[in-house]
Amino acid sequence: MAHLIAVIALVFVSSACPAVDAAGLRQHGWTVTERAGDIIGLAGTGPLLAAEELRAIAGVTTLTSLSLGGAGGALSDETLPLLLTLTGLQELALNGATLSDAGLGQLSSFHALRSLQLFHLSRGRADFTGAGLAQLAQLPALERLTLAGATVGDAAIAALITLPHLRELRFWHNTETSHGLCQLAALTSLRSLTLGQRLAGRERSDPSLDDAVLTAIAHLPHLEELSLQEARLSIDALLQLAQIGTLKKLTAAQIVTTATDIDRLRLALPGVTIAWTALTPEQAQALITKDKL
């Protein structure tokens, strides 16, 4: 990893040669975004990053966007503080970070953060219940949040519905219940909502995305885009969405329904663009064997 540290360190050499710096980063697998000669975006996947490499990334203080794929697993309660010098960060995506509820609160130091994506966060970590998400309410600009693939559920929902400025939420493959998802009706600021099915365990559990959830979210007053994934939903429940007068787009991906029912839905939602395709045999089987629906 020493070569990566050296490459990132090039940004400190001279502001007169930013193209060389960016080229070096790209050569070592980073996706680099530049503006007016400054590196404002870094995205990478791969092996875990050492503390020295995280410090090097933190030295690129012009960053407004940072995405750590497989390397996101390097972030823990102990190493996350190494990045807190990135005070201008507006977009952060992490895959596999291992944070406790208390450690998650350190993200509230990114005061400019507008978008946060958390994939496979703290899986199986007992001191992460999702309740720590409530600490993100301190972020004045946070509008977009993704939580997917975490082994937390209703406690996380109870926390995130306290976030005052959320306009977009994406939530799937966690361990929530239908009752938990129904609580999302409290997020009256939402303009965009993506919901998938709960994370299926070895033992069968009731689906989280079900008819009751559609009845609840049909009361969201400003929702413009809704995406539903991996569920068995009745046409009566889908027709409840006609109550959302602001809805502009509905996406139904891997939803058990029929073309006839979708035609009924289009008639009931004449001003809504509906994106739907019938399940393939493989997708239908996956809903049974993988998602346990």
Q: Give pLDDT tens digits for 136-163.
A: 999 999 999 999 999 999 999 999 999 9
The mean pLDDT value for 264-270 works out to 97
What is the C-alpha to C-alpha distance for residues 231 and 148, in angstroms, rounded to an integer? 16
Query: 34 and 130 share a domain?
Result: yes
DSSP lists the bridge partners of residue 31 as 43
Same domain, 127 and 184: no
C-alpha distances in angstroms, 8 versus 101, 144, 193, 254?
31, 29, 37, 42
User: Is 171 found in the same domain as 152?
Assistant: no
Q: What's residue 12's pLDDT?
A: 39
Please state the separation of Cα 97 from the chain's center in Å: 13
What is the tens place of the pLDDT at every residue in 205-261? Answer: 899 999 999 999 999 999 999 999 999 999 999 999 999 999 999 999 999 999 999
Domain count, the chain: 2
Q: Among 67-71, 183-187, 246-250, 254-258, which stretch is predicted with the lowest mean pLDDT?
A: 67-71
pLDDT (mean) for 257-273: 96
Cα–Cα distance for residue pair 287/293, rounded to 1 Å: 6
The residue among 108, 133, 161 that closes a domain is 161
**Dihedral sign for Cα atoms in the order 206, 212, 218, 222:** negative
The whole-model pTM stands at 0.91
Mean pLDDT score, 89-112? 96
Which one-letter amino acid corresponds to residue 57? I
> Taking residues 173-195, what's their average pLDDT?
97
Domain span holding position 216: 167-293
Q: Is the pLDDT of residue 46 over 90?
A: no
Q: Look at residue 13 in the predicted model and tell me its pLDDT.
A: 38
Helical H segments across the chain, by residue range? 2-9, 18-27, 51-58, 101-104, 154-160, 178-182, 211-217, 235-239, 259-268, 281-289
Counting every residue, how long is the chain? 293
Q: Please report which confidence band the pLDDT of residue 52 belongs to, taking 50, 70 and 90 as the band edges.
A: confident
21-25, 27-31, 169-173, 240-244: range with lowest mean pLDDT: 21-25
d(CA 184, CA 161): 7
* Residue 28 and residue 71 in one domain: yes
DSSP assigned state of 226:
E
204 and 286 housed in the same domain: yes
pLDDT at residue number 47: 80
d(CA 99, CA 81): 12
Q: What is the CATH number of the domain that holds 43?
A: 3.80.10.10
Same domain, 28 and 92: yes
Distance CA 257, CA 273 (A): 17
Looking at 109, 140, 161, the residue that finishes a domain is: 161
For residue 175, CA distances in Å to 130, 179, 182, 196, 292 come to 11, 12, 14, 11, 13
The answer, yes or no, to whether residue 7 has pLDDT greater than 60, is no
- pLDDT tier, 16 (very low <50, low <70, confident <90, very high otherwise): very low
Residue with tokens 């029929």: 258
Question: Is 139 strand, coil or helix?
Answer: coil
Domain boundary among 116, 131, 161: 161
Pick the closest to residue 66 from 283, 74, 18 (CA basis): 74
Report how far residue 150's alpha carbon sits from residue 72's, in angstroms, rounded to the nearest whole number. Answer: 14
